[in-house]
Amino acid sequence: MGRILTAREAGEFAAMVLTGAPIAEAVRYFWDEEQPEAVLIECEETWPMQSAVLKALEQQSGGEAWHRLTDPQRLSLALKKHYNEMAYVLWTTNYVECDGGAKLKADTCRSAIEAKVAGMAGKESPLASFYHDLLQRYEQQGQTN
């Protein structure tokens, strides 16, 4: 049914997954003709565990196996992959056609990516920072009077 990916294909598959494409969508790009759903499901289940794919993932993730990475390396890679997945959602979603959950997902992804691009991910908003600074100055003035 399924097949073993070549080293080149494994590298491309790993890159697609690391840049946010769901495995179910990525496997479809490696066939010249339409495949039965059972074949695609088998590929989804087996390709991520093929040795060439694991090697490609390792190489593209810093040259070490996941379990050998330090905590900061793992966290950084996980966040990078997560932001890539959010970017994939935005890239593949037509906002005009969104409603309900799809619109909420797109809005959430957009907000998180905007904060990341602006350098504000994981930080307070400028208004919150201003408010905290103001309170701190007010408290300091009260201590000196």
Report the candidate in 7, 4, 3, 29 with the shortest Cα–Cα distance to residue 17. Answer: 29
pLDDT at 114 over 70: yes
Q: What is the mean pLDDT of the chain?
A: 90
pLDDT at 144 over 80: no
Which pLDDT value is given to residue 121?
Answer: 73
Which pLDDT value is given to residue 131?
Answer: 67
Residues 11 and 56: beta-carbon distance below 8 Å: yes
Which pLDDT value is given to residue 139?
Answer: 78
Which pLDDT value is given to residue 125?
Answer: 65
Which pLDDT value is given to residue 124?
Answer: 65
pLDDT at 104 over 60: yes
Each domain of the chain, given as residue ranges in start order, spans 1-69
Which pLDDT value is given to residue 140?
Answer: 79
Q: Give 51 or 133, the one with higher predicted confidence.
A: 51
- Which H helix or E strand runs over 76? helix 71-92
pLDDT digits (tens, 9 = 90+) for 123-137: 766 666 676 677 777
